[in-house]
Amino acid sequence: MEDPKSLDDGWRGFFSDLNDKAPEVSRAIRGASWAPRQDRTLGRVNGLSDHIPNITGSDLTDAEQAPDFKRAITDSIRALMLVRSYRVRGHLAANLDPLGIHKQEDHPELNYKAYGFKQEDLGRRVYIDNVLGLENPTLREILTRLQETYCGTVGVEFMHIQEPNQKQWIQERIEGIHNKTAFSPLGKETLLVRLTEAETFENFLNTKYPGTKRFGLDGGESLIPALEQVLKRGSQLGVREVVLGMPHRGRLSVLAHVMRKPYAAIISEFQGNSNLPEGVQGSGDVKYHLGTSADIGYDDKTIHLSLSPNPSHLEAVDPVIAGRVRAKQRQLNDTERREVLGIVMHGDAAFAGQGLVAECLDIADVKGYRTGGTIHFIVNNQIGFTTNPMDSRSTPYPSDIAKGAQAPVFHVNGDDVEATVHVARIATEFRQEFRKDVVIDMWCYRRFGHNEGDEPAFTQPLMYSQIARQPSTRRLYVDQLVRERAMTLDRAKEIVNEVRGRLERDFDAAATYKPNKADWLDGKWAHLNTAPTLEERRGDTALSLNNLERLGNAIVNIPEDFNIHPRLKRIMGARRKMVETGNNIDWSMGEALAFGSLADEGYLVRLSGQDVQRGTFSQRHAHLIDQKTERHYIPLMNISKNQGRFVAHNSPLSEAAILGFEYGYSLVEPDALVCWEAQFGDFSNGAQVIIDQFISSAERKWLRMSGIVMLLPHGYEGQGPEHSSARLERYLQLCGEDNMQVCMPSTPASYFHLLRRQLHRSFRKPLIIMTPKSLLRNKLCVSSLSDMGPGTSFKRVIPDTDEGVSGSSVKRVILCSGKVYYDLFEERRSRDIKNIALVRLEQIYPFPNISLRAELQKYPGAEVVWCQEEPQNMGAWTFVDRRIESLLSELGGEVTRPRYIGRGEAASPATGSAKSHVEQQKQLVDEALLPV
Ligand SMILES: Cc1ncc(C[n+]2csc(CCOP(=O)(O)OP(=O)(O)O)c2C)c(N)n1
């Protein structure tokens, strides 16, 4: 400050970058004028002031002003800055790439000269006691220790973590041991056995089934011992269950060596046999997508492992894993989230490229979705199919997105198996200690093409000529062990022969291998069954009127001392009146009664999505907020003493991750009503991969049931292209083989029964509901308690019960679903039309053939039309027309085809002009009610 010229350029730049004002700095150094003298020290510089007491800013003693003393202090500060630089950037100079293609960076901040040291200073002692565990070291010793710790085969990124204790934990965990674990001879032999199993298994399959896709782990074998370490260390730290998700690469090896799926089972699948036992239906899946579960013992502990099946879509399984973990944590009452752990493996290109990764990191520590941290393992083989890393991402590492989520990242050279296992151990400890996400980025290579039929040298000739010369990870480890005299070459060969022998024996056994049972409907699902025929699916959903009144009263009962918003008070008053009169139950009250009744029966009701607590349309008010304290009051949690929980989680602004999460939750917990609500139905296409690859197809592919409910606000109300259509047609197009239910209920009671039916049946199927918007407040869209009372149930088809509209006097039957019914109903009434019947399809899939046939039979000779609000190429029309036609031809009347009434074909789902909307809507109603 006093004499900047005395510093070299580097230091001058450094201080001027700090932008400190000189007078403020001197004041800070001097401290308060009234402070006791001993407080006016320069402050503790990592123990320096302990060592050299009474260093004061303004009045150093003569001795303290001596050049040697000054140099000692400056050296210390410089050295500490150097140390800090290695903590921050040491990973850039770490030896991570087994192929040596990626050049380590000679980063200027890692050069001691950047801190004013010169070569001749290397031998000089620098005071940094208690740092790096070194006592009175020379500069050279400091550098050596820094390089060992931060620039070996492990590179650690942790200085971005804002929590000092987490940062400190990692620092201490790695610095004290120079970032190395010393393995016992037995430990080393075990690592070699694992590498040998992994390598020999792939080689064996390669020889027996050359060119057959297996997405081998060749080049990334260290994954196997590393995973084992996570499980073993995890079991010591309280983990009882693990849910794993992973992509194609190395899956067979993980199935065999981590999940212990018998070699014979895998080989049998290579022989073209199904993985499903005889007599079990299902369309199955390719072998590198299959899941399995197992109980595996580590020392005296047993862990239950489940590897989720997954589709090809990379990273799509990630949120599903999180949801499964969360549901299991609840089942085990693992409130600390230490007993159930999620491990997700990734490819480097997928981790960097797929947005779902970012979505999952974003939800990882949000109240309704946290799971206590996922362990991410990136098998970074430095290529994605044929694409180089520089074309895969803009950031240095594939893992960089995780830094924003404050996750520590351990980069490691996969050819150093000990280092890989070492970081797996630390990552597990960190997760158990702090319960947050952590990332292992294992650099390795892919020995063959993307799959075993691909020629990689078409696109990466240099990399692949290097790989051809690269000894395997196992081979390198054998060399190391021999060098260390920890093992003889003969023993290493013996291990290979043992593994090969096992594979040969299992190869022979595979010819007669029979999968013994399909493991669906086990455990928590044991009380359920495969779905019965369509007729037997009504479900027992009615409640006694007393019960409904009791529930209704509980829902509207707000504590005296709760400061409710005046408008909500009115709404609650209106709801109270609904209960008292038993009439005019609106949509939200119908929903509350359904949710409340299920919770009252002991089920968990979990509702998740954007703004679901209040409801997008300010209709639900599942949480009431005290106007003075912002305390939440949840009526549905105050229904009865031993009720199940009702939880409504406002979710982050994500569709794919949240829907995937809830789907995962529903896979684990059959006795919960798990609902995801889209803000508007349109937005659900942001989660299309979850709908296509899981919700609609998983039961057939993987024999996994789910009772997830999707609530999709839908309806043409002039709000424009993006707030009208939930794309009903898309869901209907996915329907087949009784895979899910697609419904558009038109009354609160219908909705009530539909929700309750989800749990009051002996099987589970996903339920897609087009939910209303304007109907939420439509005075005609109401039910009475008796519609939910004894003798009632969900009606797939609602007949026309209007007075005077009956039998042969009816000349036209309008079939429709949802809101348009009310438009038609009102207009028909105002025109006093009696010869047109309105029949509602409340469920569109499974198509209600029986009920609809019965309905059509009532009106012989009448023409049949289908009326919808959606454009002709959208909505239900193309799905229902042939089905209605079949029914009509079965009935054998004159009318053989339904006629379409509605908007014409369109590119955009709805007009942006409110005026055109009104005109279009009027036109379609007019056309439907044209006099007959
Ligand atoms: C969402 C998605 N897009 C594209 C693909 C096709 N695909 C399969 S593997 C792969 C490369 C993945 O690279 P990386 O994540 O690095 O894993 P690796 O195959 O190298 O292990 C691609 C593009 C896919 N499976 N999923």
CA of 389 to the centre of ligand 1 (A): 13
Does position 60 have pLDDT exceeding 70, yes or no?
no
The minimum-distance atom of ligand 1 relative to the CA of 351 is: 15
What is the reported pLDDT for 47? 40
Q: State the average pLDDT over residues 424-429.
A: 98
Tokens at residue 877, please? Answer: 């029309």
d(CA 620, CA 624): 10
Among protein residues, the one whose CA lies closest to atom 7 of ligand 1: 385
Among protein residues, the one whose CA lies closest to atom 20 of ligand 1: 384
Among protein residues, the one whose CA lies closest to atom 12 of ligand 1: 384
d(CA 501, CA 507): 10
Distances (CA, A) of 728 to 271, 675, 822: 41, 18, 19
CA of 211 to the centre of ligand 1 (A): 19
CA of 383 to the centre of ligand 1 (A): 9
Assign 29 a pLDDT band (cuts: 50, 70, 90). Answer: low
Give the three-state DSSP class for 419.
helix
Among protein residues, the one whose CA lies closest to atom 15 of ligand 1: 347
The minimum-distance atom of ligand 1 relative to the CA of 380 is: 16
Whether residue 846 has a cis bond before it, omega within 30° of 0: yes
Average pLDDT over the chain, rounded to whole?
A: 93
CA of 311 to the centre of ligand 1 (A): 12
Residue 202: enclosing H or E segment and its boundaries?
helix 185-208
Burial of 100 (0-12, 13-18, 19+ CB in 10 A): exposed
What is the reported pLDDT for 353? 98
Per-residue pLDDT tens for 234-260? 999 999 999 999 999 999 999 999 999
What is the reported pLDDT for 160? 97
Assign 644 a pLDDT band (cuts: 50, 70, 90). Answer: very high
The minimum-distance atom of ligand 1 relative to the CA of 250 is: 21
Residue 348: enclosing H or E segment and its boundaries?
helix 348-353
The closest of 371, 437, 383, 387 to 410, measured between CA atoms, is 437
Tokens at residue 31, please? Answer: 């401290």
Per-residue pLDDT tens for 723-761? 999 999 999 999 999 999 999 999 999 999 999 999 999
Residue 39, Ramachandran bin (φ over 0: left; ψ between -120 and 50: alpha; else beta): alpha
Probe residue for ligand 1, chosen from 377, 378, 385, 442 as the CB with the greatest number of ligand atoms within 8 Å = 385
Assign 33 a pLDDT band (cuts: 50, 70, 90). Answer: very low
CA of 177 to the centre of ligand 1 (A): 37
Give the three-state DSSP class for 200.
helix
Give the three-state DSSP class for 633.
strand
The closest of 695, 661, 655, 707 to 678, measured between CA atoms, is 655
Per-residue pLDDT tens for 406-421? 999 999 999 999 999 9
What is the reported pLDDT for 16? 75
Per-residue pLDDT tens for 271-317? 888 777 666 667 777 777 778 899 999 989 999 999 999 999 999 99
Distances (CA, A) of 356 to 83, 377, 686, 740: 36, 16, 10, 24
Percent of the chain exceeding pLDDT 70 equals 94
Ligand 1 pocket, CB under 6 A: 249, 312-314, 347-350, 379, 381, 383-385, 446, 450
d(CA 177, CA 35): 42
The closest of 756, 818, 744, 814 to 781, measured between CA atoms, is 818
Among protein residues, the one whose CA lies closest to atom 22 of ligand 1: 385
CA of 350 to the centre of ligand 1 (A): 6
Are the CB atoms for 555 and 593 separated by under 8 Å?
Answer: yes
Tokens at residue 288, please? Answer: 């590198």
Assign 65 a pLDDT band (cuts: 50, 70, 90). Answer: low
The minimum-distance atom of ligand 1 relative to the CA of 446 is: 20
pTM, two decimals, is 0.92
d(CA 292, CA 269): 14
d(CA 124, CA 130): 18
| Phi, psi dihedrals of residue 396, rounded to the nearest 5° | -60, -45
d(CA 681, CA 826): 26
Probe residue for ligand 1, chosen from 313, 450, 459 as the CB with the greatest number of ligand atoms within 8 Å = 450
Cβ contacts of residue 523 below 8 Å, gap of 6+? none
Residue 664: enclosing H or E segment and its boundaries?
helix 656-668
Residue at token pair 């080049």: 219
Q: State the average pLDDT over residues 79-94.
A: 96
Per-residue pLDDT tens for 427-443? 999 999 999 999 999 99
Q: How many helices and strands (H and E) does the chain possess?
A: 30, 22
836-841 sheet: strands from edge to edge: 797-798, 836-841, 812-816, 863-867, 899-901
Does position 851 have pLDDT exceeding 90, yes or no?
yes
Per-residue pLDDT tens for 867-902? 999 999 999 999 999 999 999 999 998 989 999 999
Assign 46 a pLDDT band (cuts: 50, 70, 90). Answer: very low
Give the three-state DSSP class for 23.
helix
CA of 316 to the centre of ligand 1 (A): 12
Does position 48 have pLDDT exceeding 50, yes or no?
no
Q: How many CA atoms lie within 13 A of 302 on its CB side?
A: 5
Tokens at residue 402, please? Answer: 């995780």
Among protein residues, the one whose CA lies closest to atom 9 of ligand 1: 385
**Stronger pLDDT, 150 or 32, i.e. the higher one:** 150
Among protein residues, the one whose CA lies closest to atom 26 of ligand 1: 313
Tokens at residue 899, please? Answer: 């006629």
CA of 317 to the centre of ligand 1 (A): 13
Does position 336 have pLDDT exceeding 60, yes or no?
yes
Does position 102 have pLDDT exceeding 80, yes or no?
yes
CA of 426 to the centre of ligand 1 (A): 28
Per-residue pLDDT tens for 432-488? 999 999 999 999 999 999 998 899 999 999 999 999 999 999 999 999 999 999 999
Are the CB atoms for 768 and 745 separated by under 8 Å?
Answer: no
The closest of 128, 151, 44 to 79, measured between CA atoms, is 128
